[in-house]
Structure 1
Amino acid sequence: MARFYQLLLFIITISVQAQTEINYPEVVYGKEDIGASWVSHPDIKGGEDTAVLFRNTFEVDDLRPDFIINISADNHYFLYVNGQFVTHGPQLSDIQHYKYETLNLKNYLKKGKNVIAVKVINFGKRRFLGMQSIFTSLMVNGVSYGAKIINTTGFKDFWVCTIDESYKANEVVWRGGEETAIVGGFYANNPTDFIDMNKYPTGWETLGYNDSDWQKVEFFENASSMGGSIAYLLEPRNLPLLTWDKEAIGNIARSSEKEIPEFPISGDLVIPAHQKTIFLIDQKYVTNGFPELIFSKGKDARIKIKYAENLFGEDNEKGDRNNIQNKKLLGYYDSLISNGNNSQKFIPNWMRTFRFVEFEIETKDQELVLESFINYRSRTNIASAASFTSDNEMYNNIFDICKRTVDICTQDYFLSDAYYETMQYVGDTKIHALLWQAMSGNLDHTKNAIEQFHQSRDADGNILGAYPLRSTFIYPTYSLVWVDMIADYYNLTDDTSFIEKYKDGILHTLAGFEKNMNELNLVNETKYRYFIDWYSGPNDGKGTATKNNGKNSAVVSLHYVHALQNAAKLFSVIGETNTAEKYQNRANAIKKSVFELCYDTNRQLFAERPDKTVYDQHTNIMAILTDAVDESQQKALLTKILNDPDLLQATYYYRFYLFQAIQKVDAPEMFDLAQKPWEAMIENHMTTTLERFESEKKPTRSEVHPWSASPAYFYFNYLAGIKSVKNDFEEVMIAPVFGKLQSMDGLLPTSKGNILFKLRKSKNKLSAEITLPEKMKGQLVWNGTRTPLKQGKIKYTIK
């Protein structure tokens, strides 16, 4: 793979998103400034799928003052001023912490008449599982004096609205007796769009549109009352707005016609009347965003736009992603009907993820002209500046696909994947957060995720497995991982106030999990599922290594030990030694039981449960990380499990913990072996990382899954050996181990500035060129020698 297609030749990085979130990174206008109310269309009944269009026409005499507003909506909104797109939102959260954006619209206004227009989408009964909802509604609040004229009140305001009759939610079928639209099961993302342009009010967002037959908006609820709210408890957005960057889409790779046109890179594509046409576009890499199609004529022509991360062979196999021969696209799609007018425009109402896009077109009595097809790429606006290059091209390519996966899935929250679920799961986020911090040097998404998970807890201390969420997914192991995430944050930042903020939650969660323990000091089965990894084979317990609901599971018990050990450290540093000792003693007792009951002296391995019928890598990895086996035996145990193919194997997700174990026993020579599964992705020309191992029994599903991107984190943290020693990189240690590599160059963003490094190994000699930011100090460590680092670009040679 040529260095990720020479920086992706098809990308155009022209940003049309000039707007910023005023309340990020610090809150300037809090909810106390909100005097508007939630409004809706008078004919809305409840949670039906619908699109409501809102307009407010107003006069501006003086363009000098700021025009600052708050805006939010249920489910999702798109904001326009004088026909110009501004942003979409709100940031995903729950009803008790419902987010609003704060924007300055001053630069979108002109003297005289102006119009603010908002489309609000309710995706209906099959809306995204991460999207909590009460009622299709809009809230716009003027903060600055001049902006108060556009407050939504539902009484004496100037807002009018109409239901967009062109829109219907198109449910993505993934279960039941019907033919499914996707491969691989569970779909939790939003439905797609069915749009009949014959019913679409073209130009509704522009100033010249005639809205005289629109209805007055109707009051739904106050924004605040009764010490809280009858509807939504509002909070300011705490992350930047998403990007809206124009990205070109690649050419047609396959067509039902004899000649393959060069659309959409150059020229229009004319589809004659009375013709069925199918063509496939290969973007060459996976991306995401809001694709925009502009088309003309083609009265009543039907256009289906299908999106997929990959193509499938006859038996749903994938293979080489660059090989499209005899493969089909199975994926979600948008459906359009043309009204025959010129310059019709379609942008989906929710993000699409794709490498491949397939058009199925059927024209009627008029030719159809496709004029433009581009993508508006969606990411967090926080820069992802990390880079890594080594003397091994395989490592370079693995870094590229890991970074692309992390970038795509860092949106308003940490997406578990970009296509099927797009939810923020705890286990996924632990890994994703560390990766994102390495890619950006920014901790704001991590803090947001930890806080949202904390807000999800139930009365027993369980953290919901994913949050925000409108369902109830509980994996007790993920509750433990939430404790681990707080420890990760503290280990980087030394911020004891962060521990103080969540210490009651830690106590609650660990007390709740303790109720799962039995008289053997091992876990009992619960009504929930102890998720560990996507095991495969005869002992597949749908995420655990057993088919007995996890009863007496050694690996789950050791995850509890891991969380107890982290909690002991956290409470120790804030001076609560009694609690710290309690947790440490409990951890020691469970470790002792696991060793006595599950360690097989003949095989010199830990079994997954006391009956010694199941053996996996996972239990042994966690035994190393928790010191359930003596430190002197850990390297031999790790070597053994890495070379025993009969053990249940750790898949991409759990290899994060495998890499941690390699780092703990200081065995860089094992890193390459542990990373072998990623080589198959590169050989198959993947551009993002898979969810789980391929198998004949169950084809892999998600191809943009950040929990599988962990090698990139360890390239920095272990192979290059760059670690924060104090206060989030106030002090740094660089102790490279290289593994099989001979050279490493890169840039690691931190909150204190970028660390640039060039590291070369020649036998026992280290040559290094390191650029250290101002106000950062540290040490370069090689073969036991510690050399103080100097600020600026400095060369070092150590033998």
Structure 2
Amino acid sequence: MPRVLLDRDPLLEPTRYRFMDAPWPVSWIGPVQFDADGAGVWAFRCKFNHSGETLRVHVSADQRYHLYLDGRRVGRGPERGDLRHWMYNSYDLDVTAGAHTLVAIVWWCSPTSPTPPPWAQQTQRPGFLLMAEGDKAPEISTGHGHWDFRAVTGVGFDPVPSINWFADAIGWRVKVDGQAYPWGIERGECDGWQPARVLHAAAVASVVWESHPYWLLRPALLPEMREARFAGARVRHIEEVPDADTILVPVNAQHHIAAEEAGWTELLRDHRALELPPHTRRRVVVDFQTYLCGYTGLTTSGGAGATVRVRWAESLFIHDASKQKTPAQATQKGNRSEITGRHFTGFCDTFTTDGGAARAFESLWWKSGRYVEIYVETHSEPLTIDALAFTETAYPYDFTAKFNSSDPRLENVIPIALHTLKMCSHETSTDCPYYEQLNYTGDTRLQSLVAMTCSRDDRLVRKSILLFDWSRTGDTWTSGRYPTRSVQTIPTFAMWWVAMVYDYAMYRGDLLFLRQVMPGVRAVIERWRQQIDETGLLKLPAGWNFVDWVKGWQAGMSNPVPDVGCGITQWQFVYTLMLAAELEGIVNEPLLAQRHVQTAAALAATAERTFCVPERGLFADDPAHIRFSEHAQVLALISGQLSTSIAAAVANGLLTDGGLARTSIYFSHYTFEALAKIGRIDVLINRMNLWFEHERMGLFTLLEEPEPSRSDCHAWGAHPVFHYFASILGIRPAAPAFTKVMITPKLGPLEWAAGEMIHPLGSIRTKFERHGESVSGEIELPPGVTGELVLPDQRVALTPGLSRF
């Protein structure tokens, strides 16, 4: 029963005037009553007869659904969008002749409830929609066919746990009471069904005449998320505990019950049932030996009233979560492979059994981490755990790029970086899968560069660009993160969105897509122009003008005060204007391109007058020349607007001045860009020591920032993989859509380096060897691609196929 991806609305007829018609012959349905400040789970059921051919249906819900046909799950959804771009998923159902039952389990949490939905989840009210194509449409489509509903009793949600750092951001921590749950409901069984309430007609944004300003439908943009049963779990600790409050109990190796280890291992790895006696309390710490995003599945028999809680954590903490601590103390974890003496704090799902046989529980939404803690408490009956399984989920990226070199440390970073990117890629890109699951512009630009370098699949990149375009508010900023149920303005991130569009234009192309988003690019540029005062100084706007997580800065800002000048932001806008100028050239708007270039030159001249400190060869962050950072220097260097002499002085200052605020993991991407520009790959590799240390620290993914780091999985740190290809091998687009390539190998201290980089028309294969100051090697370009090889002493034209030099 595969999901299908559509490239247009199935009922949109472009040759017919339909503005006064409902474009879909279907309506939303919902529960008759619901608590607008609460949460709920409902089942919707439709019984029908079918002649046996494939049935195509389009399905959506607010907030989420699990769809079942005759008790078998068809899919989860809908794909995440926003209220004005509400996604529906499409399925081709292989339905045999005879009677059938469709059931959708739909859940909804009010933003004002004690158990709010994820920060990334926009919502209006609980609702469900299904449209069938063909002859069965009147019988099956919601609002026309007969659909019943009933509450799914026994399912609730946990309130925000008492841990630090965005504990309520991911939402949907489920509690299932098997004694109240209507078993068999996914097959449409149980009683208590009543006709669902018809809400209003469905609306498609492209043809609507008048509609509610929400649930404007469009086809899903992405393929089905990858789901696979995980089989690599290892039991690390088993102990008897006095009660369920295990957060306060550090793991004590002396309490480990070794005799029970084999049974738990067989349950997790071999799917053999495990029986726990009456009046038992067990705490089991399981190590996935990797980082996992996944759903929990539990099947039990007997053991009425028993509790099974599954809590997820990236790492165990040195301190418990019960005391007031500074953020630094609260995030101390040490080596991630160590658990003895550590505290287990995290997000959980909780299941209570009713004593029935083969009761199947599951989480509604995925969680993430390296570890799970399983707490089991039985009462007067033994409990049999028939199965405990974890289903891995992520965007179905297939990374096929390759890189190796004479320094094996570089290659060792690749699997960690790409696994981090996978774990941060779902229905949207996410900053981190554990704490926030939010799509931030600054993060996603770097993730997209790595994705386009290593994978042929750019659909998530395109969706990310669209999401930020859709996020633009009345003052035209793109939202700092999107989708989101609260407004967050990060004006500096709006410039990184322009850079994302530029990256896509150069690495992939698609002129029609670029023209679609260029009005948003222009809006962002013009909004930033409003911040230029009469002296040519760019004043900081109101909002969170985030730059980087730098120790000593307030909330990631060198200067947190609005309406003043900032050298970092001034140079970022110069850099962004030059990218926007290239974009305007691509879409054949030369006058706009010329205007951007002129503005960039004027701003650069003002930056030199205002922020330049010649005696240090540096640009200050502030007009008073008090604060200095690497950030200002690298943005000035990569802007391309410095004279040769000033660029040389700034490069020297960047390399030698010890008084600069240092770029962190995220902003090091721009440092690496500057180092590649000035030919200092040796410094770039030396700056990667933090990446080289990850494996020694017991990490399978990349940190958010240097220790103590909140998040253990942050894909903005994957950018070195991009630089392996773009900066060391020197492979960069020389024309839109990568139709031409410029290759400028810079090996630095490496004796040799080789790689295979993804290109829209195939792959670019290179191998370079250093011989003193000279380089030899070979380059293979895909058909239809030409380019130029740039060496210190010559430039060589490249043609499709293999070239040796």
TM-score, length of structure 1 as denominator length: 0.89
**Corresponding residue for 2:19?**
none
Which piece of structure 1 moves more, 703-712 or 109-118? Answer: 109-118
Q: Across the two proteins, how many residue pairs are aligned to each other?
A: 755
Counterpart CA distance in 2 for 1:701 and 1:550 is: 31
Counterpart CA distance in 2 for 1:254 and 1:491 is: 51
Q: State whether residues 723 and 732 of structure 1, in contact with CA within 8 Å, keep that contact through their aligned partners in structure 2.
A: yes
**Corresponding residue for 1:268?**
273
SS of equivalent to 1:95: coil
**Matching residue's letter, 2:183:** T
**Corresponding residue for 1:5?**
none
**Corresponding residue for 2:324?**
none
Counterpart CA distance in 2 for 1:574 and 1:220 is: 43
Task: Spell out, residue by residue over 1:127-181, the C-alpha distance to the aligned partner (whole angstroms, 9 max, x if none).
Answer: 112211111110000113335421111xx522222111111121233xxxxxx23
**Corresponding residue for 2:181?**
200
**Matching residue's letter, 1:683:** R
Q: CA deviation at 1:31?
A: 5.4
Q: CA deviation at 1:306?
A: 0.7
Mark the CA change 1:144 to 1:493 in structure 2 (over 3 Å): closer, same or farther.
same
Counterpart CA distance in 1 for 2:719 and 2:732 is: 16
Counterpart CA distance in 2 for 1:388 and 1:30 is: 46
SS of equivalent to 1:612: coil
Q: CA deviation at 1:40?
A: 0.9
Counterpart CA distance in 1 for 2:64 and 2:785 is: 43
Q: Select 1:570's aligned residue among 583, 603, 616.
A: 583
Q: CA deviation at 1:655?
A: 0.7
Mark the CA change 1:654 to 1:393 in structure 2 (over 3 Å): closer, same or farther.
same
Counterpart CA distance in 2 for 1:745 and 1:565 is: 31
Mark the CA change 1:342 to 1:789 in structure 2 (over 3 Å): closer, same or farther.
farther
Counterpart CA distance in 2 for 1:350 and 1:782 is: 52
Which piece of structure 1 moves more, 629-638 or 458-467? Answer: 629-638
Counterpart CA distance in 1 for 2:157 and 2:257 is: 35
Which piece of structure 1 moves more, 515-524 or 550-559? Answer: 515-524
Q: State whether residues 289 and 353 of structure 1, in contact with CA within 8 Å, keep that contact through their aligned partners in structure 2.
A: yes
Confirm or deny that 1:740 pairs with 2:749. Answer: yes
Which piece of structure 1 moves more, 301-310 or 42-51? Answer: 42-51
Q: Select 2:110's aligned residue among 124, 148, 152.
A: 124
Point out where structure 2 has 5 or more consecutive residues left out of the alignment: 14-22, 240-255, 320-328
Confirm or deny that 1:151 pairs with 2:151. Answer: no
Q: CA deviation at 1:406?
A: 1.0
Counterpart CA distance in 2 for 1:535 and 1:716 is: 27
Mark the CA change 1:678 to 1:645 in structure 2 (over 3 Å): closer, same or farther.
farther
User: Which aligned pairs between 1:64-103 and structure 2 lie closer than 5 A?
Assistant: 65-103=53-91
Q: Percent identity?
A: 23
SS of equivalent to 2:54: coil
Mark the CA change 1:36 to 1:301 in structure 2 (over 3 Å): closer, same or farther.
same
Mark the CA change 1:732 to 1:508 in structure 2 (over 3 Å): closer, same or farther.
closer
**Corresponding residue for 1:439?**
454
Q: State whether residues 293 and 346 of structure 1, in contact with CA within 8 Å, keep that contact through their aligned partners in structure 2.
A: yes
Q: CA deviation at 1:589?
A: 1.9
SS of equivalent to 1:86: strand
User: Which aligned pairs between 1:290-305 and structure 2 lie closer than 5 A?
Assistant: 290-305=295-310
Q: State whether residues 409 and 416 of structure 1, in contact with CA within 8 Å, keep that contact through their aligned partners in structure 2.
A: yes
SS of equivalent to 2:203: coil
SS of equivalent to 2:635: helix
Q: CA deviation at 1:758?
A: 4.9
Counterpart CA distance in 2 for 1:248 and 1:452 is: 35
User: Which aligned pairs between 1:578-593 and structure 2 lie closer than 5 A?
Assistant: 578-593=591-606
Mark the CA change 1:159 to 1:548 in structure 2 (over 3 Å): closer, same or farther.
same
**Corresponding residue for 2:8?**
27
Counterpart CA distance in 2 for 1:567 and 1:770 is: 31
Q: CA deviation at 1:516?
A: 2.4
Counterpart CA distance in 2 for 1:724 and 1:629 is: 22
Q: State whether residues 785 and 799 of structure 2, in contact with CA within 8 Å, keep that contact through their aligned partners in structure 1.
A: no
Q: State whether residues 523 and 553 of structure 1, in contact with CA within 8 Å, keep that contact through their aligned partners in structure 2.
A: yes
Mark the CA change 1:328 to 1:220 in structure 2 (over 3 Å): closer, same or farther.
same
Q: Select 1:308's aligned residue among 303, 313, 337.
A: 313
Task: Spell out, residue by residue over 1:607-663, the C-alpha distance to the aligned partner (whole angstroms, 9 max, x if none).
Answer: 110111111111111111124542344355335324444321101111111111112
**Matching residue's letter, 2:257:** K
Counterpart CA distance in 1 for 2:340 and 2:65 is: 40
SS of equivalent to 1:198: coil
Counterpart CA distance in 2 for 1:470 and 1:229 is: 21
Q: State whether residues 494 and 726 of structure 1, in contact with CA within 8 Å, keep that contact through their aligned partners in structure 2.
A: no
Q: CA deviation at 1:421?
A: 1.1
Counterpart CA distance in 2 for 1:21 and 1:292 is: 26
Counterpart CA distance in 1 for 2:788 and 2:530 is: 45
User: Which aligned pairs between 1:180-199 and structure 2 lie closer than 5 A?
Assistant: 180-181=162-163, 183-185=164-166, 187-199=168-180
Q: Select 1:658's aligned residue among 647, 667, 671.
A: 671
Counterpart CA distance in 2 for 1:365 and 1:770 is: 72
Counterpart CA distance in 2 for 1:639 and 1:674 is: 16
Confirm or deny that 1:479 pairs with 2:467. Answer: no
**Corresponding residue for 1:451?**
466
User: Which aligned pairs between 1:329-368 and structure 2 lie closer than 5 A?
Assistant: 329-368=344-383
Q: Select 2:229's aligned residue among 239, 243, 246.
A: 246
**Matching residue's letter, 1:381:** P
SS of equivalent to 2:584: helix
Counterpart CA distance in 1 for 2:355 and 2:619 is: 69
Q: State whether residues 634 and 665 of structure 1, in contact with CA within 8 Å, keep that contact through their aligned partners in structure 2.
A: no
**Matching residue's letter, 2:110:** G
Q: Select 1:287's aligned residue among 286, 292, 295.
A: 292
Question: CA RMSD, aligned part only?
Answer: 2.5
**Matching residue's letter, 1:170:** D
Confirm or deny that 1:638 pairs with 2:651. Answer: yes
SS of equivalent to 2:417: helix
Q: CA deviation at 1:762?
A: 5.2
Task: Spell out, residue by residue over 1:652-686, the C-alpha distance to the aligned partner (whole angstroms, 9 max, x if none).
Answer: 11111111111222322221122222223232121
Mark the CA change 1:286 to 1:722 in structure 2 (over 3 Å): closer, same or farther.
same
Task: Spell out, residue by residue over 1:227-259, the C-alpha distance to the aligned partner (whole angstroms, 9 max, x if none).
Answer: 143242111112212122222240211111521
Point out where structure 1 has 5 or more consecutive residues left out of the alignment: 1-17, 174-179
**Matching residue's letter, 1:145:** D
Which piece of structure 1 moves more, 272-281 or 336-345? Answer: 336-345
SS of equivalent to 1:682: coil
Mark the CA change 1:788 to 1:605 in structure 2 (over 3 Å): closer, same or farther.
closer
**Corresponding residue for 2:395?**
380
Q: CA deviation at 1:779?
A: 5.3
Which piece of structure 1 moves more, 289-298 or 279-288? Answer: 289-298
**Corresponding residue for 1:161?**
149
Counterpart CA distance in 2 for 1:769 and 1:367 is: 68
Counterpart CA distance in 1 for 2:749 and 2:165 is: 36
Which piece of structure 1 moves more, 29-38 or 193-202? Answer: 29-38
**Corresponding residue for 1:427?**
442
Counterpart CA distance in 2 for 1:758 and 1:291 is: 45
Mark the CA change 1:201 to 1:770 in structure 2 (over 3 Å): closer, same or farther.
farther
Which piece of structure 1 moves more, 139-148 or 223-232? Answer: 223-232
**Matching residue's letter, 1:366:** E
Counterpart CA distance in 1 for 2:787 and 2:605 is: 39
Q: State whether residues 141 and 148 of structure 1, in contact with CA within 8 Å, keep that contact through their aligned partners in structure 2.
A: no
**Corresponding residue for 1:227?**
209
**Matching residue's letter, 2:420:** T
TM-score, length of structure 2 as denominator length: 0.88
Task: Spell out, residue by residue over 1:96-140, the C-alpha distance to the aligned partner (whole angstroms, 9 max, x if none).
Answer: 11111121112xx22212222211111332111221111111000
**Corresponding residue for 1:13?**
none
